[in-house]
Structure 1
Amino acid sequence: MTLAQRLKAPHLRLILKIAETGQLQIAASTLAMSQPAASRILAEIEAGTGSPLFVRHPKGMEPTPVGEAFVKHARAILAEFQNLESEVEGISLGNAGEVRVGSVTGPAVGCLVPAILEIKKKAPGIELTVEVGPSAALVRGLGEGRFDFVIGRLPPDQDSRAYRVLPARLEVVSLVVRTSHPLAGRRQVPLADVFDYDCVIQERGTPIRQAVENAFHAAGLSMPPRITNTSSLLVMLAMVERSDAIATLSEEVAGLLTRDSIGARLVPLDLAQTITVSPYFIIQNRMQQLTRAASRVLEEILSRL
């Protein structure tokens, strides 16, 4: 066995304590160890290194150069042991650890961010990673083990039996325009008045796009003829700010972007009808056990739904 294999934490503590006190008997007593046992441990270490760790003087023991090296590394190793113990305890209690969450845009803003801010107050040792994307990509990532859980919708091609699905809530669509838009400030705007403007809408097949299409069809209208399809929020905002285009956003995102407190140059239209999207859910992989930290984050989110 090598020296590293033979050394244990009590051995390192003994070396440190001898260096601190200069007395083998005091060091042994402090560590609740008999002096013969301490002498034997020190002799074994010195035999293994082929060099004395301490010089014995009538008034005490002083580290040799080899002893100084032992003291330096023993201090660092024991500090890492202490860090490891604290980290393991934090993880066990759910006060530390990494949590990975995927979410569609609306709930990421509406309930995930507030939950994260609260978790950071209660357990700052938890490190969170948040990825925002479409449900299909998020659920695929969940199956690959990249997320602890996701907030979204279960794609129709997925077997729901493979997942634990917790109910969340409906998502409402807002139509957002710049403050100087002709429809801004009007009350109870009908969808027919939206028809003649350029629209910036999510791509076909997305939940918000489907909800908007259904709303127009229910009102006896076809979709507006001038549409820009994009999943990029930045593209949407740039077009709305620079033209009379109308963007479709989740209510949570629209609320964030139209707040007076951030000097917003955008406003939501006061529509005559409410446009709702199919509900989103919290989705977990049945084969994946949540860590305590992930459970804490999940509980915080559920408390806000």
Structure 2
Amino acid sequence: MALVSRTTLLNRLRYKHLLLIRLLDERRNLHRVAEAMNISQPAATRMLREIEITFDSELFTRDAKGVAPTRLGAVLVSFAHNALTRLDRCAEELQRYRTGDGGELAVGAIMGAAPDLVAQAVIEMKQDRPLLRIRLMGETSDQLLDLLSRSQIDMAIARFSSALQHNEFDFEPLGNERMIAVVRRGHALVGQSGIELSRLLEEWPWLLQPVETPARQALEKELEQRGLVSPRDVVECGSIFAALQLVKRSDAILVMAESVVRDYLDFGVLTRLPITLGQALAPFGILTRRGERLSEAGHQFAAVVRAHAASCAAPTVLRHGDAASDGDSTLNSRA
């Protein structure tokens, strides 16, 4: 198979070709794709053939059930989805500016950073640019980086979730967060001293993030290093809201960023257990697609987040009840 140069792609691969590829992936039938594009099926077939000639390779297999992408076709499908998403968002942003709108900025943030750093940045941005439409999504790092790779968000305030993602994204560290273990008010563990982690793992239910997340992977690695087994009674929950509702209504132990549960602690809804967490947290920061420029609003938002992160970089002062006893167990985790 001959190599396809960048110039060849720019000269031959058109918007209609990208649309055809995306629709083929979504509908898996040439007849339905032709109807969606308002062209005849022979014309759709010829267009697909033109693309395959450009790449000198079969991109989709055909049989009685329809079409399916080959391994090379799957690469082009991913590119088509990303390229069309960016084009659509660019067109929408241009239209908003024409009509006096302030454009749009989509930001994803791990919940440990969102309550303080990101929320304050959003408030400041809206004060300066009231017509800017900001979409804020709070997910886990692995989910946010998937959204970022598919151009569904402009930037993420998160952590790397796998070893090779530094090849795909640029990363600027901002800070860290403190992980704590909490239980509901009136829990049998409240007020106990000398709590052993091994007993907690064996005797109590736990609320943990899904195993795909960096937080869960780091927790499991720490347990392995300490010669401890994973808790036997586990509910995996990727929703922060659902996890908080569950811990308030059950005997489960929840591990969460201190900034997320701070209000619950202040109002006495939850109580912190004397277990020190997060002593070796990997930093979270601004993640953007490598080699891609941010919009003007994106640059401004990054600058605001950066400034607030710098102002919060002073050593953390422990509040009443935060300090753990000398006999407490220590876990290293990250969100």
Q: Please indicate, yes or no, whether the TM-score normalized by the shorter chain is above 0.5.
A: yes
* Identity over aligned pairs, percent: 24
Aligned to 1:112: 118
CA–CA distance in structure 2, aligned partners of residues 116 and 156 of structure 1? 28
Per-residue CA deviations over 1:119-160 (Å, capped at 9, x if unaligned) read 223332222101222333322322332222112223436452
Q: Which amino acid in 1 is paired with 2:283?
A: P
Distance 1:113 1:198 in 2: 32
1:15 equivalent in structure 2? none
1:271 aligns with 2:278: no
Q: Which moved more, 1:157-166 or 1:202-211?
A: 157-166
Partner SS for 2:135: strand
How many angstroms does 1:187 deviate by? 5.9
Question: Structure 1: any 5+ residue segments left out of the alignment?
Answer: 1-82, 89-95
1:302 maps to which residue? 306
The unaligned stretches of length 5 or more in structure 2 are 1-95, 310-335
Kindly indicate whether the alpha-carbon contact (under 8 Å) linking 2:161 and 2:214 is maintained by their aligned counterparts in 1: no
The root-mean-square deviation of aligned C-alpha atoms, in Å, is: 2.8
Q: How do 1:26-105 residues align onto structure 2 when only pairs under 5 Å count?
A: 87=100, 96-105=102-111
How far apart, in 2, do the equivalents of 1:228 and 1:144 lie? 29
Matches within 5 A, 1:132-171: 132-156=138-162, 158-171=164-177
Structure 1 CA distance for aligned equivalents of residues 196 and 119 of structure 2:
33
Which stretch of the first structure deviates more once superposed, 154-163 or 135-144? 154-163
Q: Which of 254, 265, 285 is the equivalent residue of 2:261?
A: 254
Within 2, Cα distance between the matches of 1:129 and 1:183?
A: 40
Please point out which of 284, 289, 296 is paired with 1:285: 289
Q: Match for residue 188 of structure 2?
A: 182
Is the contact between residue 191 and residue 219 of structure 1 (CA under 8 Å) also seen in structure 2?
Answer: no
Which whole-Å deviations, capped at 9, do the CAs of 1:147-197 have from their partners, x for residues lacking one? 221122234364524432111223332111011012224567442352221
Check conservation: 1:189, 1:272, Cα contact below 8 A: no
TM-score by length of 2: 0.56
Q: How many angstroms apart in 2 are the aligned matches of 1:278 and 1:128? A: 27
- Structure 1 residues 273, 280: closer, same or farther in 2, change over 3 A? closer
Distance 2:276 2:293 in 1: 45
Task: Name the residue aligned to 1:126.
Answer: 132
With normalisation by structure 1, the TM-score equals: 0.61
Is 1:221 the counterpart of 2:228? The answer is yes
Is the contact between residue 164 and residue 283 of structure 1 (CA under 8 Å) also seen in structure 2?
yes
Q: Highest CA radius of gyration, 1 or 2? A: 1
Aligned to 1:235: 242
Aligned partner of residue 287 in structure 1, secondary structure: coil
